[in-house]
A and B are shown apart, each in its own frame.
Chain A
Amino acid sequence: MASTTINPTRMELTRLKGRLKTATRGHKLLKDKRDELMRQFLILLRKNKELRQKVELGLEQANAAFTVASAVMSPEMLESSLLYPKQSVELDVKTGNIMSVAVPQYTFKTQNTDPSEIYPYGFAQTSGELDDALSSLSGVFSDMLELAQVEKSVQLMAQEIERTRRRVNALEHVMIPDYQEKIRYISMKLEENERGATSRLMKVKDMMLAEERAKYEARRAEQETARRGTTA
């Protein structure tokens, strides 16, 4: 990609060499960053997969129990039993940091710490399946929260990795070859100029020598004729 707009000067060459050095260094650093990000990402990804399976299984059980409960109880009854929850959850979001990617960290506080306090209804008029549904829901809840944290981190890290990967590739396949090409172009041009100057000097020297020789020959010839004239 030797563009015709670059100046083949020594100053430009020094500047480009500096930029190539920076680009190479940046490339190496970014590559290291990408590798470490990828390692962390894979750990998170596996954890995410595990948690998701756990959560999906738990929710499936809860939903099954809930479906049975809604079959046994009338919809109004079901609605009114869950209308006013006893439990409330407050979520505290902090920002964590994985390889300078901001990731959320959740901690939650429940109002009631007693696990049996989650049933917001009297047991007389509700079916036992509803209890089952709620207990399996509350069992899976902490996993759900962790899943949210891990999954969000995975998404955010995927974005960062994509960006880093693009930068690494751009440096590796575009910027660095471009600089190298330009540097080669300039140094070749400079060498060419130098050779041009040398050969011009040689040519000038030749010409001057030839001139001197011609003068010398002429003088010799003159002296020769003068000598012949005196002897004759």
Chain B
Amino acid sequence: MSKIAVLGDRDSVLGFRALGLTAFPAADAAEAKAQLVHLAKSDYAIIYITEQLASELPDEISRYKDQLTPAVILIPGKAGTLGLGDDALQSAMERAVGANIL
């Protein structure tokens, strides 16, 4: 059985705790990076990460793109969406098709 992790700033992730997900508050990018690497190694199949944090560690996130687990999924944090999730979609499309077709 796998678990689901939520990584982000304190206020954004606290609510997920009530849903039964494991919330990992991370104050800054360095801390988040260490936690992401640690989580990916343990049995977390899905890692939700706030866009605010994700914008500071694009390399770490793209490293897990081609692996089956974990799925690193961006979610908007408490400051609202940055559009990074959509950007990830666009880049997947450009990678596959070679052009933006939508």
Does chain A bind chain B?
Answer: yes
- A residues within 8 Å of B by Cβ? 38, 41, 45-46, 48-49, 52, 55-56, 59-60, 62-63, 66-67, 70, 78-79, 82-83, 85-93, 95, 102-104, 106, 108, 110-111, 118-120, 133-134, 137-138, 141, 144-145, 147-149, 151-152, 154-159, 161-162, 165
Number of A-B contacts (CB under 8 A): 140
* Mask of B31-72 contacts with A, CB within 8 angstroms, 1/0: 000000000000001101000000000000000011011010
Main secondary structure on B side of the interface with A:
mixed
Task: Determine if A88 and B95 form an interchain contact, defined as CB atoms under 8 angstroms apart.
Answer: no
Q: Which residue of A lies closest to B81 (CB)?
A: A56
Please report which residues of chain B, range 64-102, place their CB below 8 angstroms from some CB of chain A when the two chains form the complex: 65-66, 68-69, 71, 73, 75-78, 80-81, 85-86, 88-89, 92-93, 95-98, 102
Instruction: Annotate B1-18 by CB proximity to A: 1 below 8 A, 0 otherwise.
Output: 111100000011011111
Known A111-B20, A147-B73, A159-B66; further 7 A-B contacts with Cβ < 8 A: A41-B96, A45-B93, A52-B86, A93-B69, A108-B4, A120-B18, A151-B73
Query: Which of A52, A63, A154 lies in contact with B77, CB distance below 8 A?
Result: A63
Q: Are A55 and B98 in contact (CB under 8 A)?
A: no
B26 contacts the other chain (CB 8 A): no
